[in-house]
Amino acid sequence: MIEDHANVDAEPRARRGRLIDLSHTIREGLITYPGLPAPVITPYLTREDSKARYAPGTQFAMDLITMIGNTGTYLDSPWHRYEDGVDLAGLDLDTLVDQDAEVFHLQDISERGIGVERFSDRDVRGKAVLLDTGWSRHFGTPAYLTGAPFLTGGAADYLVEQGVTMVGIDSLNIDDAEIPSGERPAHSALLAAGIHVIEHLTNLAALPPSGSAVTAVPPKVEGLGTFPVRVFARLP
């Protein structure tokens, strides 16, 4: 029998604040970014086959997932952009867990580029900056892949100067992925400064502008620069 723990420790959970999931669900066939492969999930050991290995009534399922690190909601470490940058295994948990968040609700913007003027009246020093553009409503559809909002290079430079810990966006790319030259000024500036980049967030509209704390911890993998994360925010 599978126990339901939904109501267990309700009082301690209330004391710590409600949690908001900011990640998309990864499923087989999901296209996150144009031109990148979708994840493939295959059984390694089925429950039926496991009957021959374990005691009667004891069954297990083990599965293989093949996917590129840029799948679903994922975090970029400096190694993603720079050969001498820190990889996923080298990230400091102090910069990934319970980061004070400043959420910028920008669903009313008329231009794709998010400029420095959006940040100048808020104190973002030492904070996680989350950009709520509303673009996540298109996730998993063709509309998501073109015309997405992005952070301008000047705004990225400003956030570096302010010493933020991470920058997340709920759209296709932190940069303008449609520039023919392939320039990536936001990635380049943020990752050079050791600031984590998180792309393809969702549910940011559920967060207040200030007061929540965000956590985004990838697995500890050496020699890898990008991987999906279960990002969540703790409300005050």
Which class is domain 74-234?
Answer: alpha beta
Q: What confidence tens digit (pLDDT) does each residue in 33-50 have?
A: 999 999 999 999 999 999
Instruction: Render pLDDT for 166-212 as a digit per residue (tens, 0 to 9).
Output: 999 999 999 999 999 999 999 999 999 999 999 999 999 999 999 99
Nearest Cα residue to 20 out of 220, 221, 224, 214: 214
Residue the block writes with tokens 């690190």: 69
User: What's the pLDDT at 1?
Assistant: 53
Which band of pLDDT confidence, cut at 50, 70 and 90, is reported for residue 15?
A: low
Which residues are within 8 A (CB) of 67 and not within 5 positions of it... i.e. 6 or more apart? 26, 37, 38, 39, 40, 228
> Helix (H, G, I), strand (E, B), or coil: what is residue 221?
coil
Indicate if the alpha-carbon torsion angle 158, 199, 6, 56 is positive or negative. negative
DSSP alpha helices (H): ranges in 61-213? 153-162, 185-192
pLDDT at 124: 98
Helices 185-192 & 153-162 angle (0-180, nearest 10): 10
* Residue 67: pLDDT over 90: yes
pLDDT, residue 75, reads: 98
SS3 227: strand
Band (222; pLDDT cuts 50, 70, 90): very high
Average pLDDT over residues 66-83: 98
Closest CA to 130 of 89, 90, 91, 159: 159
In the DSSP assignment, the letter for residue 37 is: P
| Across 150-155, average pLDDT | 98
Helices (H), the chain: 10-16, 47-50, 153-162, 185-192
Residue 78: band (very low, low, confident or very high) from pLDDT cuts 50, 70, 90: very high
What pLDDT was estimated at residue 215? 98
- Residue 5 tokens read as 């723990």
Q: How far apart are CA 202 and CA 212, in angstroms?
A: 15
- The CB density around residue 9, as the number of other CB atoms within 10 Å, is 10
Kindly tell me if the per-residue pLDDT of 14 is higher than 60: no
| CA–CA separation, 149 and 170 (whole Å) | 9
Domain locations in the chain?
74-234
